[in-house]
Amino acid sequence: MTERQWDFERSQVDNRRFKWSSKTLWGYGFGHVQCDLTGAMWYGYLLVYLEKVIGLSPSYAGYILTMSQIVEGIAVLSIGLGLDKVGVCGNKYPQRKSWHLLGTILMAICFPFMYSSPPGYDRDEGNWSHLELCLYFVPFVVIRSFSYAAAQISHLSLIPCLTRKDSARVQLTSLRNAFGFLTNIVVYICTYIMFSTSSEIHEVSQESGNSTDSEVLDIRNCTIEVDVNQVGWDDRFIYLKLGIGAVVIGTIFQGFVFHFLVDEPPNELRHQLFERVNLFAITRLFQFNNVKGRKPSVAHSIKTLPGCQNLADAKPSDEQKNKQNYQLTNATKTDDDKLKSEQINSRKKRVSLRETKILKSADDKTHQVDNWFDWFKCPLFYMVALQYCFTQLLMNLTISYLPHYLQESLKLPKEYIATIPMLQFITGFAVSFAMKPLSKLFGKRDIYTLGCIFIIAGAISANYLGNQQVVGIYFLGVIFGAGRSTIFVQSLAIIAELIGTNSTSAAFVYGAMCFTEKIATAGSIFVIQSLSPCNNETPQNGLCGDGGCGLYYRHFMSYGIGSLSGLAVLSNILRWYYAHKQ
Q: What is the CATH number of the domain that holds 26?
A: 1.20.1250.20
Does residue 382 sit within a domain?
Answer: yes
**pLDDT tens digit sequence for 130-152:** 899 999 999 999 999 999 999 99
Does residue 239 sit within a domain?
Answer: yes
Does residue 346 sit within a domain?
Answer: no
Does residue 156 sit within a domain?
Answer: yes
Q: Report the 10 Å Cβ neighbour count for 21.
A: 7
Cα(282)–Cα(351) distance, integer angstroms: 14
How many residues are listed for the chain in this entry? 582
At 366, the pLDDT band (50, 70, 90 cuts) reads low
Does residue 336 sit within a domain?
Answer: no
Does residue 305 sit within a domain?
Answer: no
At 343, the pLDDT band (50, 70, 90 cuts) reads low
Does residue 355 sit within a domain?
Answer: no
Does residue 331 sit within a domain?
Answer: no
At 200, the pLDDT band (50, 70, 90 cuts) reads low
Cα(119)–Cα(130) distance, integer angstroms: 15
Is 265 in contact with 12 (CB distance < 8 Å)?
Answer: yes
Q: What percent of the chain has pLDDT over 70?
A: 71
**pLDDT tens digit sequence for 8-24:** 444 444 455 666 557 88
Residue 156 buriedness (CB in 10 A; 0-12 / 13-18 / 19+): buried
User: What is the pLDDT at residue 24?
Assistant: 84
Range with lowest mean pLDDT among 178-182, 451-455, 499-503: 499-503
Cβ neighbors of 300 (< 8 A, separation 6 or more) are 326
Cα(504)–Cα(499) distance, integer angstroms: 10
**pLDDT tens digit sequence for 386-426:** 999 999 999 999 989 999 899 888 888 888 999 999 998 88
Is 288 in contact with 269 (CB distance < 8 Å)?
Answer: no
Range with lowest mean pLDDT among 176-180, 303-307, 520-524: 303-307
More confident residue, 394 or 275: 394
Cα(521)–Cα(567) distance, integer angstroms: 15
Range with lowest mean pLDDT among 3-17, 34-48, 140-154, 512-526: 3-17
The domain total for the chain is 1
Cα(52)–Cα(61) distance, integer angstroms: 10
Containing structural domain, residue 81: 3-268+371-581
More confident residue, 228 or 428: 428
Q: Give how far Cα 63 sits from Cα of 120, 135, 343, Å.
A: 23, 11, 64
Cα(128)–Cα(448) distance, integer angstroms: 47
